[in-house]
Amino acid sequence: MENAVNQLILAICLIAIPILIMVLIDSAQNKKHKPKDHFSKTLVHVGGHPYIPTDAVIDFDIIDNKVYLIHGANNYKEEILPQNIKRCEVKNEQEITYDLTIPRMLVLGPLALADKKRNVRDNFYLFLSYEIKGVEVNCLFKGLDNIYDIQSQVTRLKIETAQTEETTT
């Protein structure tokens, strides 16, 4: 009888210990791979930023409730707090350039109203205005794809930051 009890305890240990180890490892991996509040888009700098060259490829990241402009080629990384962002607008090329231009009106006259400009590919631009060290910086970036979600993410970030500030005061 005592031998059967010892075998039962040994069997339980041989089954329970590996299961417990697997559960602990799985839990640790889930914590390790759990995505943080992270958003990232690749943009091309059109102009306006004093430290990023024109046509430079940058990463626009939101990590831990802060916006980062990262230009890897010259190891430049700028942190922007949400409360310092003044404007963040996304416009497509059609919104930036007018469909009806003066030269078209001169050439086509009233027919310019009937002749719509045709774009094969629509480009998206991000206008970002923020303050850093008391200086306002206005930048224009070109998106490599639809970047309207940047505006949503920045707006969400600003709202959540404002709510956090309200609850702490």
Extents of the domains making up the chain: 1-34, 38-168
Q: What is the mean pLDDT of residues 92-107?
A: 58
- Between 29 and 11, where is the model more confident? 11
pLDDT of residue 165: 75
Q: Is the separation of the CB atoms in 82 and 93 below 8 Å?
A: no
Q: What is the mean pLDDT of residues 98-102?
A: 48
Burial of 61 (0-12, 13-18, 19+ CB in 10 A): middle
pLDDT of residue 29: 61
119 pLDDT band, cuts 50/70/90, is very low
Pair of tokens at residue 153: 């993410």
CB atoms within 10 A of CB 119: 12
Mean pLDDT, the chain, integer: 79
Q: Is the separation of the CB atoms in 145 and 124 below 8 Å?
A: yes
Question: In Å, how far are 54, 92, 93, 97, 118 from 121, measured between CA atoms?
Answer: 22, 10, 9, 14, 9
User: How many residues comprise the chain?
Assistant: 169
pLDDT of residue 63: 93
pLDDT of residue 148: 86
- CATH assignment, 38-168: 2.30.29.30
8-state DSSP, 77: E
Q: What is the mean pLDDT of residues 12-31?
A: 69
- Between 43 and 100, where is the model more confident? 43
Residues in Cβ contact with 40 at an 8 Å cutoff, skipping those fewer than 6 apart: 59, 60, 61, 62
